[in-house]
Structures are given as structure tokens and as C-alpha cells.
Amino acid sequence: MIRRMWMAAALAAVFSTGCGKSGAQPALPTQEASSAMGVKAIAPATELEGNITRVTGQVRSKQEATLSAQATGTLAKMLVKVGDKVKKGQTLAVLDTSNVIIGVEQARAVKAAADASLQLATNNLERTRKVAEGGGIAAAGLDQAEIGQKQAAAQAAQAAAAVRMAEENLRDMAIIAPFDGVITARMKNIGDTVAMMPPTPVFSLVDVAGLEVRALVPESVVDKVKQGTKTHGTVSPSGMRFEVTVATVGSVVDTTNRTVEVLADVVGETASPLRPGALVDLDFSAAGQTDDKGLFLPTQAVSARGQEGFVWVVQDGTVRKRDVRVERVLPGYVRILQGLGADERVLADSSLDVKEGTAVRVVQ
């Protein structure tokens, strides 16, 4: 009797132990959930923010030049410094002109002698013609006088050209501003030797009045940006606003970043000087707006080539690969043409190391 009771107790213990193991199984899903990958998931947007069509550009001068001398010599005078505003035709620097001035004086002296010889030959020809009319001189004498006068005229013309050349050489000893602007750099000082070939840079001149903005506009927007389009820009980081008018829209698409060069003239007054080289944002939201309805995702959420691609859809704690058709509409965004619903959520980053059925948990 005692033996039977002991066996019954042993069987009951075994049965109880087995039931306890079976009851512990529901804890497994909790362990799987804790090991799931944390991800950020997003839903497609039905409209886009206007600020995504703001394009970064750079202010630049329509005219800027590196100035050098048109002759070889030593700098004798420097008449401007960095920051000076200059006018077109203003003399900025002068080379040593002592030898060139002597050349000008010599050329002028030769010209004076040639002019005197021409005058003498001309007078002689007139007298010879009068004598020839009366038959007092042979035809050969008249021919000789005419030839003498032509030779003297040619020598006078040659001497005049030599004077012009010498005077031009003298002018080349000065560096002249080709347009209104500001001196932004001075590379040489008095006493430095400069050469004509290869040119020695002496000044940098920038026209700060005629400014434009160069911007690379996304291909998807640029067709709506026309010559004459008016918009505003914002200087970074000061926030100063200014107005621009589109002057040129490029005809070539950059195959690397799918953008088109747009040049816009700065117009009107600005609160403070707008400096070449400044980074600015141009707002093309008005040009980029579309009335079409649709679903939009950041390009990072879609792995696509052309219009074909896929997204990772989050479903019941796992990800599922979903083929979609898309089109690029604005910088950093695509429109979903087919394959995704408005109420579905996808991984914000399609490049994550996941596969079909990977367990995930949304952490955003």
C-alpha cells in the first residue's frame, strides 16, 4: 500500500513538471521581440513642404579680372590698395617709364625730320611742275621730283607710325582698370619686376555692383523656371533677403547630379552689401509646386533605378519587400505611382541590412 502511494506521488510530480514546461512557452514571443531590429518607419505624404525647392547657390560677380602689365619692367608707382573702389580707365599702377619716354622723344624727333623732308619734297615738286608747264625742264626731271615727294611721304608716314608705337608702349607702362569695381587683391609692390609674357598678376578687380547667383536646379524643377522668373534669395547664415531675376537657364543636364545651371541677376537694393562668394538659398517653391495629387516618399526610403524600385513595408512586426513604380518630382523626393497604399508604413532607410521577414520594432 505504501509502495503504491509512493508511485502515485512520483507520477503526479512528473505530470506536474511536464505541465510547468508547457506553460512557459508563451514567453518566447517576448524574447523574439526584444531581439528585433529597431527601425524608423514612415508613411507616404500626400503633399510636400514648400521648402524642399530651395536651392543653394553662390553669389558671384558678372565681371572680375586678374590684371597684369602689358609690358615688362619695374613697378614704380602703386596708386591703389586692397578695398579701393576704382573707375573704368583709372590708372592703378605705373612701371618705370624712363627708357620708354626716351624712345617716345626719339620717335617724335624722327617724325619731325621726316615731316620737314616731306615739306621740302612737296615744295620742290610744285616748282618743278610749274617749270615743266613752261617747257623749261625735261619730263624725267618732273618724274624724279614726283618720286622724291612720294618717298618723303612714305618716310613721314613711317615716322608717324613709330611715334604711335612709342606712345602705345608708354601707355602700356600703366595698368588701367577695365571696368568699375573694387580691388580685392594686390600681388606686387613697388620695386617688383613684372613681365608681359607670361603675364605677372598684379591686381584682382571685382565688379561688386553687377552681381548674379549661380545655382544648380534639380532637373525635375528646372522646366518650370523660365527666363525672367522673379524670386527671392536668403544669405546664409545672416538671413538677409534679396531679390533676383532669372537671366539664363542652362540647356544641358549634369549627368552626375541631374541638375541644370541657372544664373539669376541680383536686382534692387539690399540691407547690407552682398558679397561675391556668399552662399545663398534661392526659393523656387512657386516654380516647383504641382497640382497633381499622389503619395510621396523621401528618396532614401526607396531603392530605385529609373521608375522601377522597391520599399520595405512594415507588417506585423516584420518587413516585406514591395515592388513599386516611382518618379522623381522634387529634390530628395519621389512620387509613388504604383505598389503602395497611403495607410502603409515603410522603412525610412531602404539601405538597411534587412531581408524578407526580418523582425523589426518601430522606435521612432
pLDDT at 138: 76
What is the 3-class SS of the chain, one letter each residue? CHHHHHHHHHHHHHHHHHHHHHHCHHHHHHHHHHHCEEECEECCECCCCHHHHEEEEEEEECCEEEEECCCCEEEEEECCCCCCEECCCCEEEEECCHHHHHHHHHHHHHHHHHHHHHHHHHHHHHHHHHHHHCCCCCHHHHHHHHHHHHHHHHHHHHHHHHHHHHHHHHHCCEEECCCCEEEEEECCCCCCEECCCCCCEEEEEECCCCEEEEEEEEHHHHCCCCCCCEEEEEECCCCCEEEEEEEEECCCCECCCCEEEEEEEEECCCCCCCCCCCEEEEECHHHHCCCCCCEEEEHHHCEEECCEEEEEEEECCEEEEEEEEEEEEECCEEEEEECCCCCCCEECCCCCCCCCCCEEEECC
Give the confidence band of 123 by pLDDT, cuts at 50, 70, 90: very high
Burial of 309 (C-beta count, 10 Å sphere; 0-12/13-18/19+): buried
Whether 266 and 215 have beta carbons less than 8 Å apart is answered as no
For 45-56, write each residue's pLDDT tens digit.
887 655 556 788
Q: Is 148 inside any structural domain? A: yes
Give the confidence band of 29 by pLDDT, cuts at 50, 70, 90: very low
Give the residue carrying C-alpha cell 528585433. Answer: 36
pLDDT at 35 over 80: no
More confident of the two residues 2 and 312: 312
Q: Is 107 inside any structural domain? A: yes
pLDDT at 112 over 50: yes
Tally the domains of the chain.
4
Q: Is 235 helix (H, G, I), strand (E, B) or coil?
A: strand
pLDDT at 13: 38
Alpha-carbon distance 128 to 143, whole Å? Answer: 9
More confident of the two residues 279 and 26: 279
Q: Is 20 inside any structural domain? A: no
Cell of 103: 624712345
pLDDT at 319: 94
Please report, to the nearest 10 degrees, the dihedral formed by the alpha carbons of residues 134, 139, 143, 146 taken in order. 10
Cell of 66: 586678374
Alpha-carbon distance 91 to 88, whole Å? Answer: 9
Shared domain check, 275 and 220: yes
pTM for this predicted structure: 0.57
More confident of the two residues 332 and 250: 250
Cell of 2: 505504501
Shared domain check, 202 and 69: yes
Shared domain check, 341 and 217: no
Weakest-pLDDT range from 17-26, 122-131, 173-182, 299-308:
17-26
- Stretch (H or E) spanning 230: strand 230-235
For 230-265, write each residue's pLDDT tens digit.
988 999 888 899 999 999 999 999 988 888 999 999
Shared domain check, 217 and 186: no
Q: Is 111 inside any structural domain? A: yes
pLDDT at 257: 86
Shared domain check, 164 and 110: yes
Q: Is 11 inside any structural domain? A: no
Shared domain check, 214 and 283: yes
Weakest-pLDDT range from 27-41, 233-247, 273-287, 297-311:
27-41
Shared domain check, 306 and 248: no
pLDDT at 48: 66
Alpha-carbon distance 327 to 296, whole Å? Answer: 10
What is the rounded average pLDDT for all residues in the chain? Answer: 85
Q: Which of 255, 270, 288 marks a domain boundary?
A: 288
Alpha-carbon distance 213 to 223, whole Å? Answer: 18
Task: Evaluate the omega torsion of the peptide bond into residue 218 and state whether it is cis, within 30 degrees of 0.
Answer: no
Cell of 55: 536651392
**Domain coverage including residue 137:** 98-171
What's the Rg (C-alpha) of the chain?
43
Shared domain check, 140 and 90: no
Shared domain check, 145 and 56: no
